[in-house]
Amino acid sequence: MDKAQPSEIQTHEIAEVQAIVDQLTKRKSHKPSQPAWMQRAEGAARTLLESGVTGYLMAIAIALVISIAPSDALRATGLTILLLAMLLILAMFALQGVQVVPLVIAMFKRPFDPILELVNGAITADLAAVNRLSSCSREAVEYVLAQYKHQRLAYEVRTSALAGQLEKLGLFPVLATFGVAAAALLNSPYQWLRGLVFLVPTFHFLKLMSLAVTQEMDRTIALLEYSIAARDRAAEEAKDSD
């Protein structure tokens, strides 16, 4: 007796699941209500980050110019811009640290409240999309999930190949190690080695930004897997009731 063949996946079924996946991945994270001073601090931190990144890109551009046409004046200018950019980014981290203080205090007084508030917000934000998934073709959901998991893994491998596993080493230990190495690189007689002082932190910054992307992708993968598991449970319950 021939085994039943799975039905062919239709393009419109894939498109429907893709739209839901896009919604789940790109939806804004729930943020607890903040006092006015924290909102102003967040705006200032965002401005400092944008200015620091701009300065950093300028320093990299100068480093590329120096690699083609070495110049002591340009080198000094590039290092000054790099230093200012790093100071702006450190100031941004300091502001974010100030914003964390109320959260730390709240965690001591009510350790579970901040986490539960985030969980409850995510439950409300994702419920409509998960309900839409239940009406989609199972084969389409599984197919999109397979492709999505592959791209998530490939994205992590690429970023780790460039900047290492920052989530395991920690940002500040990595920066401290780089600071020690940078002191030696700046005294190197080789121009291309001195250029690494500008390039290496860029990869660490990109890795730091990628962590937020992979966290959202992991949440989407978990919800897709939940949708498939819920179908299996419903099918087993229906079979047992017959």
Each of the 242 residues of the chain gets a pLDDT tens digit; together they read 445 566 788 899 999 999 999 999 988 765 656 666 666 767 777 776 677 667 766 766 766 666 666 667 766 777 777 777 777 777 777 766 666 666 677 667 777 777 888 888 889 999 999 999 999 999 999 999 999 999 999 988 888 777 667 666 666 666 666 666 666 666 666 666 666 666 666 676 777 777 888 889 999 999 999 999 999 888 888 777 76
CB atoms within 10 A of CB 236: 10
Write down the pLDDT at residue 199: 64
Length of the chain (residues): 242
pTM for the complete prediction? 0.65
Cα distances (angstroms) measured from residue 50 to each of 55, 87, 125, 172: 9, 13, 29, 20
CA gap 63, 192 in Å, rounded: 9
Q: Helices in 110-165 by DSSP H: which ranges?
A: 113-133, 138-163
Those residues with Cβ within 8 angstroms of residue 122's Cβ, 6 or more apart along the chain or in another chain:
29, 30, 219
74-88 burial, b for 16+ CB within 10 Å, e for fewer?
ebeebbebbebbbeb
Q: Where are the domains of the chain?
A: 34-110, 112-242
Write down the pLDDT at residue 1: 42
Q: Is residue 48 classed exposed, middle or buried when 0-12, 13-18 and 19+ CB atoms within 10 A define those classes?
A: buried
Q: Helices in 170-190 by DSSP H: which ranges?
A: 171-186
Write down the pLDDT at residue 47: 76
